[in-house]
Amino acid sequence: MTTENFAPVLQQLAAREGIDVTDLYIEGNVVFKRKDGWMTGTVCQIGTPYWNAAKASAEVLARLRGQ
């Protein structure tokens, strides 16, 4: 998965976390969440089951949309 393809996965992670997708960022292979510009915690690492579940959801949604 290339960097530009992370957006759908980040959208799924944001939905699961109940936050806005703009409050997520990736540094290295870790997805962090922030509030008011400050890092408030980690969400997951790329490749973990939580990431893979969000990735699978994003792929299913893309197929349903015909992408």
Domain ranges for the chain, please list them.
Answer: 3-64
Predicted pLDDT at 4: 61
Residue 21 three-state SS: helix
Q: What value does the mean pLDDT take over residues 20-31?
A: 94
Q: How far apart are the C-alpha atoms of 39 and 43, rounded to whole Å?
A: 11
pTM of the entire predicted model: 0.86
